[in-house]
Amino acid sequence: MSAQQTTARFTLDPAFAVSEVDPRLFGSFVEHLGRCVYTGIYEPGHPAADAAGLRTDVLDLVRELGVTAIRYPGGNFVSGYKWEDSVGPKEDRPRRLDLAWRSTESNQFGLSEFIDFVRKVGGTPMMAVNLGTRGVAEALELQEYANHPAGTALSDLRAAHGDKDPFDIKLWCLGNEMDGPWQTGHKTAEEYGRLAAETARAMRQIDPSVELVACGSSNSGMDTFAQWEATVLEHAYELVDHVSLHAYYEERNGDRDSFLASAVDTESFIEKIVATCDHVGAKLKSKKKINLSFDEWNVWYMNPEAPAHTDPPQEDWAEAPRLLENHYSVVDAVVFGSLLIALLRHADRVKVACLAQLVNVIAPILAEPGGPAWKQTTYFPFAAASKYGRGTVLDVRPDSPTYETEQFGTVDLLHTTAVKNDETGEVTIFAVNRSQTRALPLEAVLHGLDLTRVVEHSVLSDEDPDARNTLENTERVAPHAATGTTLTDGTLSATLEPLSWNVIRLA
């Protein structure tokens, strides 16, 4: 913190806006990985299971979470996926080895079950096609099976399987992380760019209105970062709508100050890919603008020694093993909230984003087989952002005290954005105080906004920043109301608790 400044300040004015929020910014991700599907969203025989085997306790939590687009079936899993295995009578579906996660896939939950799940939670499907071990023909067959109304072999097969109405999948991912050497069917940028373009062109011949996502770099640390996107887009620029971004963060070597500033990297990542897309567009003399699909993001503890990492030792080829079941703390939730703020601050170009993943696997919801389901700490920022982050993002440029980080240098203590509800005129401020020890006074001047009162100031913080919600104590951590927040003569005054995620609603 600078010695000269102790209060964070900014101005809100509806004349200065970033963009309207695409509701798909609040998407999530269901992959056949660990227990995300089996004993997560799907568990026939569970006391809360419906007739289709979906856990109604989990469905309720997903609805409250406010998830929109749901990406499926992967992830790394998709690069070995045979969609035909996942349709038709369950007793006829084959068991397969999943190379991505060295597990056995029963295919008892498949395409029809996924669509049923999406409809029940009020979401929209985002389907990935396998461009690892398969290609154009298989993508077209899946598209025809899923979307064609009737009168062809594959659309009639869907009807014979019990789904007369088309699935109406409009948003498609052209593979997953194809730049990654770990990916089954890994390709060079030239190879993938040509394949993505060929697949996109063919899919548009069936339906010109589909939205298509080309694989960007698996993360910003890849050796081919940015050059990969440039090469792929030189092949596919006019044929795709979005480029994907993936990013995960964890606290490393006890450097919590840098971890709390993770969104600095997120915003830089977004801005670099926007620049790359626009460079290619200029080079091609195109009038089209490519947007971003940040379709994997989260806090993910990959280090087995981390307190959040709870996976037991695994046997190869197990069915639905416990994998990546991170248990999130208050500090994780604050970082998570900051990542949401980063996405909203770039809503002009980030049109789709998917929290990875939805249940059990690095997820905001945990569920025990035969037992309860409950909210992790990260559940609360997402639910609040999805509920109150619909509308127009205002351009917020804070003047904030700063602190020093090993990884990112000098960083603002305040990370914030604001969203104006275009129907009611209400404004919601989302704010994070990155200081671990000091409360942060906040003043915001409001211009051109007919706002007179504070509806709510909700805070997620705790005296124990490592507190978690567990099976033994599922409600240990929850947001609480702040006191002393006022709105007088167009000036908002508040105090942000140390290491906190804040939702301030003004009407």
Residue 236 tokens, joined: 């596919």
Distance CA 108, CA 91 (A): 8
Q: For residue 2, tell me if it sits in a domain.
A: no
User: To 5 degrees, how large is the angle CA 159–CA 160–CA 162?
Assistant: 65
Residues 423 and 349 in one domain: no
Return the H-helix or E-strand segment holding 147.
helix 136-147
Of 388, 415, 442, the one marking the end of a domain is 388
| Residue 1: predicted pLDDT | 43
Distance CA 459, CA 496 (A): 8
Return the H-helix or E-strand segment holding 342.
helix 330-345
Max CA pair span of the chain: 73
| Residue 120: predicted pLDDT | 98
Q: For residue 174, tell me if it sits in a domain.
A: yes
Residues 285 and 431 in one domain: no
For 412-467, the pLDDT digits (tens) are 999 999 999 999 999 999 999 999 999 999 999 999 999 999 999 999 999 999 99
Q: For residue 43, tell me if it sits in a domain.
A: yes
For 302-319, the pLDDT digits (tens) are 988 888 888 888 889 999
Residues 351 and 251 in one domain: yes
Residues 231 and 373 in one domain: yes
Residue 11 tokens, joined: 């101005």
84 backbone dihedrals φ, ψ, rounded to 5°:
-65, -25
Residues 345 and 472 in one domain: no
Of 371, 388, 405, the one marking the end of a domain is 388
DSSP 3-state of 438: coil
| Residue 307: predicted pLDDT | 85
Helices (H), 91-226: 111-121, 136-147, 153-160, 189-206
List the chain residues with pLDDT less than 70.
1-4
Candidates 34, 27, 25; CA nearest to 359 is 34
Residue 398 tokens, joined: 């804070």
Q: For residue 158, tell me if it sits in a domain.
A: yes
Q: How many domains does the chain contain in total? A: 2
What lies within 8 Å, CB to CB, of 173 at 6+ separation is 71, 78, 126, 127, 128, 129, 212, 213, 215, 244, 293, 295
Residues 360 and 407 in one domain: no
308 backbone dihedrals φ, ψ, rounded to 5°:
-75, -15
Look at the pTM and tell me if it is higher than 0.85: yes
Residue 127 tokens, joined: 């389907």
Residues 342 and 404 in one domain: no
Cis check: omega of the bond before 376, within 30 degrees of 0: no
Catalytic sites, residue numbers: 177, 296
Distance CA 53, CA 190 (A): 43
Residue with tokens 């992790």: 376
Q: For residue 403, tell me if it sits in a domain.
A: yes
Helices (H), 188-327: 189-206, 227-236, 256-260, 262-283
Residues 499 and 352 in one domain: no
Residues 345 and 402 in one domain: no
Residue with tokens 């929850």: 478
Of 388, 411, 437, the one marking the end of a domain is 388
| Residue 310: predicted pLDDT | 87
CA distances from 430 to 396, 459, 493, 501 (A): 11, 10, 14, 8
Domain hosting 342: range is 22-388
Q: For residue 1, tell me if it sits in a domain.
A: no
Residues 195 and 291 in one domain: yes
What lies within 8 Å, CB to CB, of 257 at 6+ separation is 403, 404, 405, 406, 434, 436
Distance CA 320, CA 361 (A): 11
How far is residue 278 CA from its own chain's centroid?
24
Residues 340 and 447 in one domain: no
Q: Angle 330-345/379-388 helices, nearest 10 degrees? A: 30
| Residue 313: predicted pLDDT | 87
Residues 337 and 224 in one domain: yes
| Residue 305: predicted pLDDT | 83
> How many of the other CB atoms lie within 10 Å of CB of 162?
10
> How many of the other CB atoms lie within 10 Å of CB of 498?
17
Cis check: omega of the bond before 73, within 30 degrees of 0: yes
CATH of the domain at 120: 3.20.20.80
Q: For residue 3, tell me if it sits in a domain.
A: no
Residue 67 tokens, joined: 């998830």
348 backbone dihedrals φ, ψ, rounded to 5°:
-70, -25
Residues 38 and 101 sit within 8 Å (Cβ to Cβ): no
Distance CA 19, CA 394 (A): 8
Q: For residue 202, tell me if it sits in a domain.
A: yes
DSSP 3-state of 233: helix
| Residue 274: predicted pLDDT | 98
> How many of the other CB atoms lie within 10 Å of CB of 215?
30
* CB-side neighbour CA atoms (13 Å) of 435: 21
CATH of the domain at 495: 2.60.40.1180
